[in-house]
Amino acid sequence: MVERKVVIAAEVGLHARPAATFVQTAAQAPFEVTVSKGGQAPVNGKSILAILGMDARQDDSVVIRVEGDGPEAEELLNRLAEICETP
């Protein structure tokens, strides 16, 4: 398992296009992906409704967790973090 805390940079937060891009990227991988904000329970990173329901806004911190090891899991985590950190 790999995880990283990132800050949402997009003005719209993790909504609309950034959320769709995040979910599409996560769905392409064979790993379980979860995202949590603050003290909330983690949500499925492959579910657009779960991601939108988190209400992650600009400057919020989220923790992305990829249930897997090795370079593929790290690469997925890097791509997901980049989506969140892109303004």
- 21-68: pLDDT as tens digits: 999 999 999 999 999 998 899 999 999 999 999 999 999 999 999 999
- Confidence at 16, pLDDT banded by 50, 70, 90: confident
CA 87 – CA 77 distance, rounded (Å): 18
Active site residues: 15
Domain that holds residue 29: 2-85
How many separate domains does the chain show? 1
User: What is the pLDDT, as a whole number, of residue 52?
Assistant: 97
Residue 28's closest CA among 76, 84, 83, 82? 76
pLDDT for res 55: 95
Q: How far apart are CA 25 and CA 30, in angstroms?
A: 11
Q: Using only C-alpha atoms, what is the Rg of the chain?
A: 11
Pull the structure tokens for residue 81. 């973090």
**pTM (two decimals):** 0.95
CATH code, domain with 26: 3.30.1340.10
